[in-house]
C-alpha cells in the first residue's frame, strides 16, 4: 500500500504539491485525474523518490521512503513504474529488456529470469515478439513490454503515469485491457490517466487534483455523477464534451 501525509513539494517558488494526504490500500486501484500542470506526475515521481519532497511523509508498504543506498534500491524494486514513454533499451531484445533488472537487482539466475519473462510476455500478449527489438514493435506492444518489465521485479505496487498518452488511438485499448487485467488480479495501482473509461471501470477510487491540491477523493460513481467542487465540475465539463 501507499500512503502520503502532509506532502509538500516546491520547484523554486512554485508550490506543486500542497499538503497532500491520501492512501492506496493493498489491492486497490486509485486513478488520479486533473488538469495539466496540477501535479499528478510529480506525485507519482515523489512516490518512487525520483523527485525529493520538501516536507511530509510518503510510505510504501508501511515503511517510510528511504533516501539512498540499498533501501532506496529495494524501494524502487518494490514500486513498478510505467511512463508515457516506454523507455525500453533500444539495443536489447524485448525478452532481454524484461530479464535485465531481475538479474541485476534481484540476483535471479538467467534461466529463471527468462522463464519468468516469457510468462509475463505471454500474460501481456506479446510472447511472439520476445526476440524482436523495441523499434520493431507497435507503440501498444512496446508499452505492454514496459509493463511486463516492471512486473518482472515482482513489485508490491504499480505506478502508471499517463501510460496511453503517447499511443495512437487504436492501441490505447490493448494497454488499458492489460492494466484492467492486472487490477482484476488484485495489483495495488496508482494510475495517472485521462482515460475516463478506465477510471469508471477499473478504479476503486478517483483522486482529483487541481493546482497541487487533492480537491476530491471519492468513488468513480460519485465523482462522475455528482462532483462536489466547482473545479471538478469544470474539469469534467471540458473532458466529457470532447
Ligand atoms: N523539473 C521541474 N522543474 C520545474 N517545474 C516543474 C518541473 N516538473 C514539473 N514542474 C511544474 O510543476 C507543475 C506540476 O507538473 P506535473 O508534471 O506534476 O503536472 P501534471 O498534472 O502531471 O501535468 P500533465 O497532465 O501536463 O502531465 C507544473 O507547473 C510544471 O510546470
- Which residue of 39, 161, 192 sits with most ligand 1 atoms within 8 Å of its CB, as the best mutation to test the pocket? 39
65 DSSP 8-state letter:
P
pLDDT for 84-130, tens place per residue? Answer: 888 899 999 999 999 998 888 878 899 999 999 999 999 999 999 99
Distance, in Å, from the CA atom of 228 to the CA atom of 222, rounded to the nearest integer, reads 9
User: Using a 6 Å cutoff on CB, does residue 66 contact ligand 1?
Assistant: no
What is the ipTM, given to two decimal places?
Answer: 0.95
pLDDT for 41-87, tens place per residue? Answer: 999 999 988 899 999 999 998 888 777 778 787 787 889 999 988 88
Q: Report the predicted TM-score, pTM, of the whole model to 2 decimal places.
A: 0.93
Distance, in Å, from the CA atom of 48 to the CA atom of 177, rounded to the nearest integer, reads 24
User: Using a 6 Å cutoff on CB, does residue 210 contact ligand 1?
Assistant: no
Residues 38/209, Cβ–Cβ less than 8 Å: yes
Amino acid at each position: 500500500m501507499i500512503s502520503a501525509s502532509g506532502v509538500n513539494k516546491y520547484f523554486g517558488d512554485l508550490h506543486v504539491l500542497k499538503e497532500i494526504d491520501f492512501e492506496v490500500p493493498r489491492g486497490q486501484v486509485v486513478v488520479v485525474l486533473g488538469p495539466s500542470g496540477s501535479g499528478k506526475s510529480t506525485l507519482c515521481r515523489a512516490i518512487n523518490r525520483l523527485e525529493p519532497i520538501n516536507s511530509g511523509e510518503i510510505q510504501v508498504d508501511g515503511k517510510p521512503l528511504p533516501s539512498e543506498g540499498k533501501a532506496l534500491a529495494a524501494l524502487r524494486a518494490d514500486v513498478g513504474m510505467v511512463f508515457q514513454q516506454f523507455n525500453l533499451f533500444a539495443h536489447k531484445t524485448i525478452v532481454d529488456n524484461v530479464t535485465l533488472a531481475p538479474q541485476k537487482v534481484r540476483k535471479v539466475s538467467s534461466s529463471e529470469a527468462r522463464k519468468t519473462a516469457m510468462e509475463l510476455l505471454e500474460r501481456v500478449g506479446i510472447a511472439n515478439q520476445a526476440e524482436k527489438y523495441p523499434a520493431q514493435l507497435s507503440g501498444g506492444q512496446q508499452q505492454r513490454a514496459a509493463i511486463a518489465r516492471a512486473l518482472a521485479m515482482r513489485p508490491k505496487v504499480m505506478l502508471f503515469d499517463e501510460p496511453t498518452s503517447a499511443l495512437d488511438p487504436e492501441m490505447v485499448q490493448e494497454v488499458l485491457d492489460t492494466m484492467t487485467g492486472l487490477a482484476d488480479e488484485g495489483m495495488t495501482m496508482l494510475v495517472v490517466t485521462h482515460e475516463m473509461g478506465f477510471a469508471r471501470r477499473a478504479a476503486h477510487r478517483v483522486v482529483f487534483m487541481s493546482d497541487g491540491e487533492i480537491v476530491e477523493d471519492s468513488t468513480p460513481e460519485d465523482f462522475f455523477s455528482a462532483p462536489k467542487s466547482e473545479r471538478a465540475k469544470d474539469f469534467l465539463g471540458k473532458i466529457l464534451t470532447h
